[in-house]
């Protein structure tokens, strides 16, 4: 599989500077670029590699000014980081072969389930009663799709995904291996004798369009009603979303984060790894959490950046850190 610089430029809306017919086979990091690679420069920390990179094609932002000539063909783009994502997706689509044919002898599809055209259901997968699967959806081996589950079009469920009964998945959703959608929320009522009475979890999970759910991530079903992951949300590996939580559209949550029950996360939020948010809170749109931040109160102001546990505004945290870092502990 080879692509010319001009084909790539047309795909990403860029402008070629140099040889438009030079060909590339793969994408590489700029510090490891070799002939036949396409690389990108977006982080100032890697600027020195712009001038030493041996790649055939280099994606650069339109406003970046070269300090000296380079050998690579350049594609000028509005945003190099976004452009490389488009290039990776293009290459992936060219080399991946879409599977088809779901009536395999070693899977189980209920007679009352409906499976759309072009779907693939792998070996040892289970599709329950009255489940609905949209066209061109790919369900890899050993997946479990519970009764009455609804899955949209053009989804990909990698091996070992479990979707419990009644949950709803939108279009163009990717769920990575061993993720669990719709497991019971952590609901137990304390009794006078010190034991706990399980509270039945009778709700569902609803995941919107264009979401991506990482490997071993869990989204719990609601106690009553819905746990909601809105369209465009990206959840990393090993993320826990508890019962009745709402994750606003286009929010991204990095690995090992947890959102407790009934908390409402706004739109376009960014959570660094190992962050945690307590239950029954409201988090405003565009809130950013640095890694290992612990939020125990509502965040009302959109665009707030927080750090630390308990979380405080990032600027205040950095001022405080400058003081205690240099304190005399003798």
Q: Would strands 73-77 and 15-17 be described as parallel, antiparallel, or unpaired?
A: antiparallel
Residues of the chain with pLDDT under 50: none
- CATH code at 3-95: 3.40.1390.10
To which residue do tokens 């947890």 refer? 258
What are the respective helix, strand and coil percentages of the chain, to the nearest 5?
Answer: 15, 30, 55
State the pLDDT at residue 93: 77
Q: Of 11, 176, 243, 280, which one is the catalytic site residue?
A: 243
Which two three-digit tokens encode residue 18?
Answer: 């140099």
pLDDT computed for residue 103 by the predictor: 53
**DSSP letters spanning 199-212:** PP---EEEE-TT-E
| Whole-number Å distance between alpha carbons of 100 and 239 | 31
- Domain 161-318 in CATH 3.90.78.10: no
d(CA 48, CA 105): 56
Tracing tokens 């959703």 back to the chain, one arrives at 173
Q: How many CB atoms lie within 10 A of CB 211?
A: 24
Whether 161-318 and 3-95 are alike in CATH topology: the answer is no
| Rounded CA separation 135/107 (Å) | 18
| Confidence (pLDDT) at 4 | 96
Q: What is the pTM of this model?
A: 0.85
Note the pLDDT of residue 330: 52
Q: Please report the pLDDT score of residue 74 as a whole number.
A: 97
Residue in 71, 20, 162, 142 with CA at minimum distance from that of residue 151: 162
Domain extent listing, the chain: 3-95, 161-318
Cα 220–chain centre separation: 17
User: 280 catalytic, yes or no?
Assistant: no
């Amino acid at each position: 599989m080879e692509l010319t610089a001009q084909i790539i430029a047309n795909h990403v809306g860029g402008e070629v500077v140099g040889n438009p017919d030079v060909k590339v086979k793969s994408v590489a990091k700029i510090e490891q670029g070799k002939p036949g690679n396409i690389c990108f420069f977006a982080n100032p920390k890697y600027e020195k590699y712009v001038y030493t990179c041996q790649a055939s094609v280099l994606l650069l932002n339109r406003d970046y000014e070269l300090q000296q000539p380079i050998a690579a063909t350049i594609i000028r783009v509005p945003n190099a980081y976004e452009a490389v994502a488009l290039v990776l997706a293009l290459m992936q689509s060219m080399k991946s072969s879409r599977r088809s044919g779901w009536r395999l002898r070693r899977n189980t599809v209920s007679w009352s389930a409906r499976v759309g055209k072009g779907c693939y259901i792998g070996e040892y997968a289970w599709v329950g009663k009255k489940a609905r699967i949209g066209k061109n959806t790919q369900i890899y081996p050993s997946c479990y799709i519970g009764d009455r589950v609804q899955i949209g079009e053009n989804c990909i469920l990698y091996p070992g995904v479990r979707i419990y009964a009644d949950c709803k998945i939108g279009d163009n959703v990717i769920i990575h291996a061993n993720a669990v959608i719709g497991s019971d929320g952590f609901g137990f009522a304390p009794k006078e004798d010190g034991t706990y009475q399980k509270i039945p979890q009778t709700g569902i999970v609803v995941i919107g369009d264009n979401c991506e759910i990482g490997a071993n991530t869990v989204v719990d079903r609601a106690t009553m009603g819905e746990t909601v992951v809105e369209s465009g949300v990206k959840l990393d590996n090993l993320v826990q979303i508890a019962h009745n939580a709402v994750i606003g559209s286009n929010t991204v949550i990095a690995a090992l984060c947890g959102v407790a029950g009934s908390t409402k996360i706004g739109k376009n939020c960014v959570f660094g790894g190992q962050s945690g948010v307590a239950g029954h809170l409201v988090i405003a749109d565009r809130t950013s959490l640095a890694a290992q931040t612990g939020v125990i109160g509502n965040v009302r102001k959109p665009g707030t950046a927080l750090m630390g546990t308990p979380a405080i505004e990032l600027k205040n945290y950095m001022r405080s850190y400058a003081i205690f870092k240099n304190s005399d502990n003798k």
